[in-house]
Amino acid sequence: MSHVFPRNCHVQPPIAVGGEGVWLIDSEGRRYLDGSGGAAVSCLGHGDEQVIEAIKAQLDKLAFAHTGFLTSEPAEALADLLVAHAPGDLDRVYFVSGGSEATEAAIKLARQYWVEKGQSQRSRLIARRQSYHGNTIGALSAGGNEWRRQQFGPLLLDMSHIEPCYEYRNREEGETPEEYGIRAAEALREEIEQVGPETVMAFMAEPVVGATAGALPPAPGYFKHIRKICDEYGILLILDEVMCGMGRTGTLFACEQDDIAPDILCIAKGLGAGYQPIGAMLCSASVYDAVARGSGFFQHGHTYIGHPVATAAGLAVVSAILDRGLLPQVQAKGTALQQALEARFGQHPHVGDIRGRGLFRGIEIVADRATKAPFDPALKLAAKLKKAAFARGLICYPMSGTIDGQHGDHILLAPPFIISEDEMGQLIEKLAGAMDEVL
């Protein structure tokens, strides 16, 4: 009997013993095509020699130095590299160990920013339904993942949730994508006015929604209008690129494609590519200055922030993404994946939408294509698809989310950037087999 507390107590997962490129191998010798990079983590695939060597070299040199006393060479170099490529005036990098730590830190930094500026009445965060920002109490309060929130209601913080930008479901007949983008963004203004502009500290959103909506990109112009509204009211914009960042959508930062820059930006997953647990929160010079010129201390911190081995891994990963020319490859392969998915599933009676950016693609499963009605949640289709795909040697990320209070099923694909044409074909055939079995 295993003494590991698993994610799902009803399932005893196989034991992973190896990884080669886009494949994971279990102790029985079975091979799994990692079609979702775990959860959009393994962007470089498994067994990348350059990253492994960088980790080993750092371990030989220095494993740990507490950031209360010392900084380290890889942390300094990775911060320099991220800032050099970051949009806008993002200027400082606060390293953490994962996505929830990054979003939690962002929420607290936004609050402290306003306290430092003498506006301590600003404590409200506005986020969106159908979003996921992590599992710690602050991050969970910000997210709109009903399934993950349901048991913890009494513990969650009072935050606002506006409608997501969801063209497939919410764009009206006769409305252009651009017009819809503006209308969806205007929901932020309405909420700010509703709760009182003087009480709002920040708006938080994923540029391309991952787990809860299946690679849902914004309508054109949506985030430009969001940025404008934030500026009008002087509130901070926090972008959560934990899942969609680090090249996953074809640019190093997803928001580059929306031509905007946030005040605070969160990354994780692809930053360590699975080789080390690492996340980061980047903030603008003016947010940093408010703290630096005020109390001087960000009232936060975990033991492992800025870990030398984790930052050495992050440095090797980001260098690999940039130096190996992987970003144009993600764009080209992403287009090919979208076309192949449309060719294979475009006419499927239960496929409502196929969407995404780069190698971040989602399929929305519906009971009825005409009405877009989702399936009954009691059918647990997402879980069944995951199981059927896994039995065929495919790891993909089916998720149930909520669609305007109703249940909805999505499949998220986020393969490693190194996936070959042949492997992409195998991914689609295995997925088709699972869909045929379940739907």
From 116-124, 237-245, 342-350, 406-414, span contacting ligand PLP (CB under 6 A) = 237-245
Binding flag, residue 240, ligand PLP (CB under 6 A): yes
Tokens in use for 196? 């009182």
Please report, as residue ranges, which positions from 131 to 160 form the binding site for ligand PLP (by CB under 6 A): 132-134
Nearer to ligand PLP, 13 or 349 (CB): 13
What does the per-residue mask of binding to ligand PLP show for 13-52, with x meaning CB under 6 A?
A: --------------------------x-------------
From 77-85, 222-230, 235-243, 371-379, span contacting ligand PLP (CB under 6 A) = 235-243
Please report, as residue ranges, which positions from 90 to 109 form the binding site for ligand PLP (by CB under 6 A): 98-100, 103
Smallest separation (angstroms) from ligand PLP to the CB of 171: 23
From 128-136, 183-191, 228-236, 342-350, span contacting ligand PLP (CB under 6 A) = 128-136
Contact residue for ligand PLP among 105, 110, 202, 242 (CB under 6 A): 242
Q: For residue 220, with 0-12 CB atoms within 10 Å meaning exposed, 13-18 middle and 19 or more buried, which class applies? A: middle
Contact residue for ligand PLP among 164, 210, 274, 416 (CB under 6 A): 210
From 130-138, 248-256, 370-378, 413-421, span contacting ligand PLP (CB under 6 A) = 130-138
Nearer to ligand PLP, 102 or 184 (CB): 102
The bridge status of strand 90-96 relative to strand 200-205 is: unpaired
What does the per-residue mask of binding to ligand PLP show for 253-282, with x meaning CB under 6 A?
A: ---------------x--------------
Check if the beta carbon of residue 424 is closer than 8 Å to that of residue 333: yes
384, HSE (Cβ side, Cα atoms, 13 Å): 14
Nearer to ligand PLP, 17 or 155 (CB): 155
From 23-31, 106-114, 127-135, 363-371, span contacting ligand PLP (CB under 6 A) = 127-135
Tokens in use for 10? 């009803």
Smallest separation (angstroms) from ligand PLP to the CB of 240: 5
The bridge status of strand 200-205 relative to strand 236-240 is: parallel
Nearer to ligand PLP, 102 or 438 (CB): 102
Contact residue for ligand PLP among 48, 163, 206, 263 (CB under 6 A): 206
By the criterion CB under 6 A, which residues form the site for ligand PLP? 39, 98-100, 103, 132-134, 206, 210-211, 240, 242-243, 268
